[in-house]
Amino acid sequence: MTKSVSYRYVVVASQYVSWLFGQLLRARYSISAHCPAGLFERDSEHCLILAPTHQTYLDTLLLMVALGYRLFRALVPVRTLATQDFRSPLLQWFKPLIKIIYWLEGVIELPPEEYDERSLPEKLRGLLVALNEGNVVAIFPEGEVWKKREPPIGEFAPGVIYLHRRSGAPIVPIAVWMSERKWPRRRYVVQFGQPVQIPESLDQDAGAAWLREHVLALHEKAKQEAKR
């Protein structure tokens, strides 16, 4: 128990430092966030599943920077699900450093691809533990960075629905719109939705499709906000 509490302090401190240094990203990105009234307004949020679309490897940090300090403080620590299988040779070369950052930031790793048991319960066990401890967790339903312009977001895997139903935690749908123009600063617009509960009548695949349609509507809102 003492070890768990001590590690939590490490993760919280690390995420505060990351958020602070993450402000430097504003030199490269024009970042804005749009939240419905009352979202993350409590001093400390618990047991929420953040489900953002995936536009860049920097999404986790950009999302927290976009929120601003007051809302970020209400969420921290956020435990994010991430891969440990890197296909990029550059990321493979930096893997030892990435693993250290993962530990400091409280990232929960997916089982390696060569691992025999990669069922949903095994993949998401760490996130369920984090939710049971009262943490906020983040999972990218697309499962990878989505680089196509059409459709604007990828298909959603059922893992987020499984996590939602096993934990009872509401899902916060999040859509990210990023401009094609990269210079001098790239637009990065985040549209948060109200926490949702997936209809019980839907199975996991249908629930994932239902959530995707919800996020597509948010993506359109983010796109319209970017034009203002």
Mean pLDDT by groups of 10 residues along the chain of 228 residues:
79 97 95 91 80 94 94 94 84 89 94 73 92 94 88 94 95 95 89 95 96 96 85
Strand pairing class (136-138; 49-52): parallel
Residue 14 and residue 104 in contact, taking contact as beta carbons nearer than 8 Å: yes
d(CA 81, CA 108): 5
Residues in CB range of 58: below 8 A, 6 or more apart? 25
CA distance 77 to 57: 19
Closest to 61 measured CA to CA, from 12, 16, 97, 123: 16
Q: The pTM is what?
A: 0.92
Domains and CATH numbers, the chain: 2-227 (3.40.1130.10)
pLDDT value of position 64: 95
